[in-house]
Amino acid sequence: MKKIFNTLICAILIVVLCLLAAKIINMHNNPRYLNDGYEEYYRKEVKDDKISELTEKDNTKDNLENSNNTSSKIAENVQNNTITKKNENKSKTNNNIKSEEIKTVTDDKKQETVVSYDKNASSKENNNIDTVNKEEPKVCSANEELDKETNTCVCKVGYEKDSNGTCVKKETPVVTKNNLVSYNGWLKIKDNTLVNERNEKIQLKGMSTHGLQWYGEYANEETIKDLKEMGSNLIRIAMYTEENGYISNRNIKEKVAKIVEIAKKEDMYVIIDWHILSDGDPLIHKEEAKEFFREMSLKYKDYPNVIYEICNEPNGNVTWENNIKPYAEEVIKVIRENSKKSIIIVGTPTWSQEVDKPANNKINDELVMYALHFYSGTHTEWLRERAKEALKEIPIFVSEWGVSDASGNGGVYKEETLKWLKFMKENNISWANWSLSNKNESSAMLITGAPSNKISEEYLSESGIIVRDALKN
């Protein structure tokens, strides 16, 4: 028994000794007992373990951000270094960088380098960069402005260069009020009367030529200028269609063009008259009329002085509803394709006396006027009363009148003529007198044998004297 007990004690001691030996070996490898820096080591190891554990999921994001930030800063530094080198080579004034401070920042996660520049120096550097890349803008005077495309100074609107190259204010010509085109411009219709661009009433007064194929030579620059000096602001061109007129002689329109240009030069209004007479129905030559007015309206679309009269005196078995209005609507449409602002005169039935007919059936155009023709020896108070009533509905233009009877001859009816002149003045009705010729008839302005290049007192007929006084008044 004693032998067994001793054996057990020995076994226990052997086990204890083995445990002590293992402990000693473990202590030898443990810095807690062998290294005084254990506490610092231990804390670092624990902290690194926690950091690694907490940031494991964000490593990819942080790496991308750090990569982008690093790339951006590298690009910025490269750009700044490049700009600095350019400025050092091109200008000695780019010494604006006052300080450069390099600071190293270290934390538990990363290490980076920050370069700090003085703000004022950076701003000045940018200005210097602009100067290098852009041409210095010119300094313009008070009357000039800079053309950015060419970097040159040009005159402002309303200014022009004088002989010395200096921009000075343009001189606007002062147009005093008168009865000519330069002041009145494009004409309009307001309250059934003719007005100018300023909406002021205007009365056109002047002469009508006789047939161009017979007395065209009297419509020339000298005679038209003489008429203007008398007070005329209008010339009417009577271009007959038949009777050796336009239909058989198309070249007659060249004479029309010459008179239009003379009128323009003299600052006067002009009527281009499609002068039907023996061909009383305007529909007879409707297609020729459309062709003619298409050409004229295109040629003179920018002439504020040109007025179109599209059928002088419809007559015979012709009515407003069946003949004149349908014709007029087609021709007006052609004119309006080119000339939107021109006044157009439309003849009325019975040699342009029945102005009451269109008064009840107007053409749909705001710039259309209706022709009234009278001869003092034939047309008296009864026609004035008709015209007075028609004026309530339509604008009237007396595009032809004479001091004689309707034949153009048979005496001078001065008293009745003065009544008509008064009526036209009171109602602001424009007119053209028949005729600028030396024909041996009482309605001619000039006596027989009068020259074609001058209108003077000694050559005026009795009709011419009455008209001269009317023009001056």
Catalytic residues: 313, 400
Instruction: Please report where in the chains the tokens 């259309």 appear, as a residue.
Output: 368
> Could you give the CA distance from residue 318 to residue 349 in angstroms, rounded to a whole number?
7
Those residues with Cβ within 8 angstroms of residue 198's Cβ, 6 or more apart along the chain or in another chain: 184
> Could you give the CA distance from residue 71 to residue 105 in angstroms, rounded to a whole number?
18
Query: Tokens representing 309?
Result: 């009269």
What letters, b where the CB count within 10 A reaches 16 and e where it falls short, cover 222-231? Answer: ebbbebbebe
User: What is the torsion angle, in degrees rounded to the nearest 10, for the CA atoms of residue 442, residue 446, residue 451 and residue 457?
Assistant: 140
The CB-based long-range contact list for 189-197 (8 Å cut-off, 24+ gap) reads 189/343, 189/366, 189/367, 189/369, 189/395, 192/391, 192/392, 192/393, 192/394, 192/395, 192/396, 193/395, 193/427, 193/428, 193/429, 194/343, 194/369, 194/395, 194/397, 194/428, 194/430
> Could you give the CA distance from residue 335 to residue 6 in angstroms, rounded to a whole number?
147
3-state secondary structure of 223: helix
Residue 308: half-sphere exposure toward Cβ, Cα within 13 Å: 30
The CB-based long-range contact list for 121-128 (8 Å cut-off, 24+ gap) reads 121/96, 121/97, 124/96, 125/83, 125/84, 125/87, 125/94, 125/96, 125/97, 128/87, 128/91, 128/93, 128/94, 128/96
Query: Tokens representing 77?
Result: 């530094």
> Could you give the CA distance from residue 309 to residue 271 in angstroms, rounded to a whole number?
7
Query: Cβ–Cβ contacts within 10 Å for residue 15, how many?
Result: 10
H helices within 56-193, ranges in order? Answer: 59-90, 119-133, 181-184
3-state secondary structure of 33: helix
> Could you give the CA distance from residue 222 to residue 452 in angstroms, rounded to a whole number?
9
Amino acid at site 319: T
Instruction: Please report where in the chains the tokens 């009329």 appear, as a residue.
Output: 289
* Burial class of 16 by CB neighbour count within 10 A (0 to 12, 13 to 18, 19+): exposed
